[in-house]
Structure formats: C-alpha cells, structure tokens
Amino acid sequence: MRNSWRPIAALLALCAAAMPLFAVAQTGPAWPDTFLARVETLALIETLNADLLATRLATLTLDKWCADHKLASETKIRARLIRGVDKPASQEQRVRLQIDQSEPVKFRHVELACGDRVLSEADNWYVPSRLSAEMNRLLETTDTPFGRVVADLKPFRQNFAAVVLWKPLPDGWELQPPPGDHPGELLSVPHALLEHRALVLTPELKPISEVDEVYTRENLAFTPPN
C-alpha cells in the first residue's frame, strides 16, 4: 500500500513545481530572444503607439487591440479603480486645463484591463464642473473607464507627450549586424512600453481632463507567430 502512493506523490510534486511556471507565463509575453522576435515586437510597439496617437479615445483602441490579439475571452476593456490615491493638480496642469486655483479638480487612478491583463495604468485629472451629474456619479462610484463615461460629449485627445520606453532593438539597428539569437531563452520585456500624456477636450476645445498613461508589456502577451 505504501509503495502504491509513490507514483501519485510524484505526480503531485510535479504539478506543484509546474504551477509557478504557469503563473509566470500568464504575467507577460513569452517571446523567444531572437532577432526575428525583436523585429516583430518592435513593429507591434510602433503600431500600438501609432494607433493610440491617432485615436479619439484610448479605451476604444485598447478594445480593438484586445480583440485583435485575443488577449482574453471578454475583449471589452474594463477599468479597475484604485482608491485611496490622490495627486493634486499642479499649476502647469491647471493652465493646460484652463482653470484657476479655485476650480475643483478630481483625481482618478485606474488600471485598464483586458480580462486579467492590465494593458494600461492611467492617472486622470478631470474637471467635474465640465461633466454632467451622472458622469460625475459614475466616475466616483464605479469602475467604468473615463472614455466610456464621457462618450456623449464626443471628446477627443490632444497628445502633448509620447515616449517609447523600451525598444527591442537599438536605434540604427538596420545598419548593424543583427544580434545573436538565443531561441532557448525568453526575450526580457520590461513592464512599461509606452507613456502618453494628453488633454481630453470637447468639440468646443474645452479641456475636461488631463491623462498620463503607461502602456504595459501585457499588450504583447499573446502567442507569437511561428
């Protein structure tokens, strides 16, 4: 009887050892460390960057990115509101928002997620007096993304900063010998890929918010092409 448990115990030990590996595999992309994979990830980051710069609302772009790359079964982006965080608007931000020191500004920090994958971490300073009572209620009491809450205002973005935080290949890579391939290793992708800062304005060019968004490696967390 004692010996009959040995195969089961060995199987349980194997499963326990595999579980952490599975958890790691779900936290980010698993691209091989090859020249081809670096070119492909570079193209994806540049595509995402261009799509975000061209969009009217970032939430809509992330909806499409999530669906196109099958990052989750539910592809509609949802916001995870992080409560208990506050960053008062600076004087420079008030100037950009076209308000004086007496005008109230609310702060909201959210994670925009596709399923369990956080695609963007966003700081949002918004002007409550320029939104409806229902919009303010939704922003204060629900996890609804800002872009969906204010959609009826037909807002658009005006980017004033966009930075690519990680490049899989160095500048001028096309004029240099390609880096060596390490197909047995995974490409080390940092957490932050892009940072965008933008004003969100109404069609009358009235700013309603300023956002600072960091786009994460989870945007690349799909099975690479063979």
> Which phi and psi angles does 112 have, rounded to 5°?
-95, 115
Task: Kindly report which listed range (27-41, 62-76, 106-120) carries the lowest average pLDDT score.
Answer: 27-41
**pLDDT tens across 27-53, in order?**
668 899 999 999 999 999 999 999 999
Domains of the chain (ranges plus CATH)?
30-220 (3.40.1410.10)
Looking at residues 66-76, what average pLDDT do you find? 92
Q: What is the pLDDT of residue 75?
A: 86
pTM summary value: 0.83
* 208 φ/ψ angles, rounded to the nearest 5 degrees: -110, -20
Give the C-alpha separation, 133 to 138, whole Å.
Answer: 9
Contact, 128 vs 175, CB < 8 A? no
